[in-house]
A and B are shown apart, each in its own frame.
Chain A
Amino acid sequence: MNQMPPVKEMTSRERVLAALRREPVDRTPVCNPTSVATVELMDLVDAPFPHANRDAAAMARLAATSYTELGFDSVMPVFSIVQESSALGCKMQWEQKDNWPTVRMNEPIWKDVEDIRIPNDFLSHPDMVCVLDAIRLLRKEFGNEVAIIGKTMGPWTLGYHCFGVEPFLLLSLDDPGKMMMCLERMKAATVQFGLAQIDAGVDALTLPDHATGDLVSGEYYKRFLMDMHAEFVDTIPVPLILHICGRTVDRMDYIAQTGMAAFHFDSKNAPCESMDIVCDRISLVGNINNPETLFAKDPADVRGEVIANLEAGVRLIGPECAIPLQTRIENLREIPKTVRRWHGERSRAH
């Protein structure tokens, strides 16, 4: 990809969308499919957690900092993974400024497939409306300048939240047929929220579905999720970015077969190894390490990881997952800085 003839200068939005379509770009986009919200950024625009997770204006202000303060090519207003679960009736812990909101998974709301109900007013729940309004505000402010990426949770993640992680995983083993029925019922939430965000103005959607290598095998992904993810590609008409944390090389081949535009991958997977598996079937986004590099190290270390990804041919560069809230801004700014410098050096060399 990076050996292509020069491409005319693109806007951030054009760059991200081209990379998601695996088309030539003027330079590799820096993308944020999960969250780059930090305490420092909250202070800069007066949009602290938990307010910024529940108020559209604060959410949009904080999301915009990814473009305005960090120089990324995308903005992502959905910082957490809990909005839908709140709307489905899960017990929530919205936390404080320096902590992520979370679902009380040890107090599950569903026990069986019959319990699964997507409320009729699902999309009118304040935590859903907040996201939709924030997307509209961002579109109004930035027009076609920057890529606006939304987020709709996949049924596997919703299952963790609504059934509890342990019961949900045990169900997959005890009664795989019932597990499939549960996923089938929950997928309506994924589609509904995805389509609503498209109406509100997103360019692409991240679809986190945490069938992570830390919990389940690649064969599990194939058995329970591969076809369903392919179905999402057919029913949700914008580029989809699948996000799964942890070691995932054992399922990347399956993921590449779903038709998803991109896969947001974790630093536990080496960029070259991952690129070798997916080839040109899907774009990869990632995979700068969060806890050890972005959180704890210096810009020089960030630079090294960015370059490793660029040299491997990763199409969109960004952190591996939502970053720790105390991450320093200078480390995040180093990502686009290094990408620009790397492309500058290469174009001079040619």
Chain B
Amino acid sequence: MAVLSDITNEFIRQEIEEYLERPEEIERNIELFARVRPAMQEIAAALIEGEDGEVDRLTKQALDGGTEALEIMDDGLIAGMGIVGIKFREAMIFVPEVLACARAMKAGMKYIEPILSDSGVKPIAKVLMGTVKGDLHDIGKNLCTMMLRGSGFEVVDLGVDISDDEFIDAIEEHQPSILGMSALLTTTMPNMGKTIEALIDADVRDDVMIMVGGAPVTQEFADDMGADGYGKDALSCVSLAKSLAKSLAGERG
């Protein structure tokens, strides 16, 4: 079993010591970063600090040095974002800080994504993402989209203010396994339920697993609307999508 001192990067060690509280998360992150190469730890540290220029430079440097794109993504970018997600969930940081980290992740992903898409790696599942009709807020949806892509999902991002018909058309066109809907406002949340009803009427509801999220959305509200899952934040969204994809894979044998 790895211990904290096995992690070479001092900043990462401090982050784990200072911000992680759940024993299973401390253990998982120590195990993860202890096996991760120092250069990847450095990328993760720059991402956690929201330094997009530094992530850009380090990612390019690692690729030029022959490191695999997948290793940079998993051990540098996603590993760093994992700590960011925990800090956000525990209200140790807020959206501006998360946005800065997301900007840093994008700075690295701009090099990684083209390489991965050319490599023919099969995605875990295809996810359709959109903010419901009448709602033009997309920070949460964009963070989820970025984290899903980084975690191996193919994501079709429909954008904001998506009507029932647009969701239905997109399901028919892209045939995703999962549909993710988001709403930030208590005034637009009910539109999630309306969209689910429209999917039932159009006979496409059973073609997708539906996950919902957004600041005012709760598990109870998601259940009442007939969604298959609710994610509180971008980290939960990824776990939820993985579990929905797994249950689909089980159903489809």
Contact = CB atoms under 8 A, between A and B. Distances in A.
Interface in A180-227: 212, 214-217, 220
Contacts of B216: 245-246, 291
A326 B190 contact: yes
Contact of B189 (A99, A215, A291): A291
B136 A105 contact: yes
B134 A324 contact: no
Given A291-B186, A325-B187, A169 B96 contact: yes
A321 B95 contact: no
A246 B220 CA distance: 17
A172 interface: yes
Contacts of B136: 93, 102-106
Contacts of A246: 215-216
A326 B133 CA distance: 14
A290 interface: yes
Given A104-B136, A170-B103, A291 B50 contact: no
Interface in A285-302: 290-292, 295-296
A4 interface: no
B139 interface: yes
A290 B134 CA distance: 17
Q: How large is the interface on B (under 10, 10 to 19, 20 to 34, 35 or more residues)?
A: 20 to 34
B99 A99 contact: no
A7 interface: no
B221 A291 contact: yes
B186 A324 contact: yes
- Is chain B's interface secondary structure helix, strand, loop, or mixed overall? loop
Contacts of B97: 173
Looking at B94, B99, B185, B221, which has the most chain A CB atoms within 10 Å of its CB?
Answer: B94
A100 interface: yes
A188 B185 CA distance: 27
Contacts of A165: 137, 139
Nearest to A102: B136
B237 interface: no
A166 B134 contact: no
A296 B161 contact: no
B218 interface: yes
Looking at A102, A103, A325, which has the most chain B CB atoms within 10 Å of its CB?
Answer: A102
A185 B187 CA distance: 30
B68 to A, nearest CB: 31
Contact of B186 (A93, A174, A321): A321
Interface in B70-93: 91
Interface in A274-289: none
A246 B214 CA distance: 12
A93 B103 CA distance: 28
Nearest to B183: A291
B54 interface: no
A290 B190 CA distance: 10
Contacts of A93: 136, 161
A8 B131 CA distance: 51
A245 B190 CA distance: 18
Given A106-B138, A291-B186, A170 B221 contact: no
B151 interface: no
Given A170-B103, A173-B100, A215 B94 contact: yes
B188 interface: yes
20 contacts: A93-B136, A106-B136, A106-B160, A165-B137, A169-B95, A169-B139, A170-B99, A173-B96, A290-B186, A291-B186, A291-B189, A292-B224, A295-B186, A295-B190, A296-B221, A321-B186, A323-B187, A324-B186, A324-B190, A326-B190
Given A105-B137, A215-B96, A296-B224, 20 more contacts: A99-B188, A100-B187, A100-B188, A102-B136, A106-B138, A106-B160, A166-B99, A169-B95, A173-B97, A214-B215, A220-B94, A245-B186, A245-B216, A292-B220, A295-B186, A323-B187, A324-B186, A324-B188, A324-B190, A326-B190
Interface of B: 50, 91, 94-97, 99-100, 103, 133-139, 142, 160-161, 184-190, 215-218, 220-221, 224
Interface of A: 93, 95, 99-100, 102-106, 165-166, 169-170, 172-174, 212, 214-217, 220, 245-246, 290-292, 295-296, 320-326
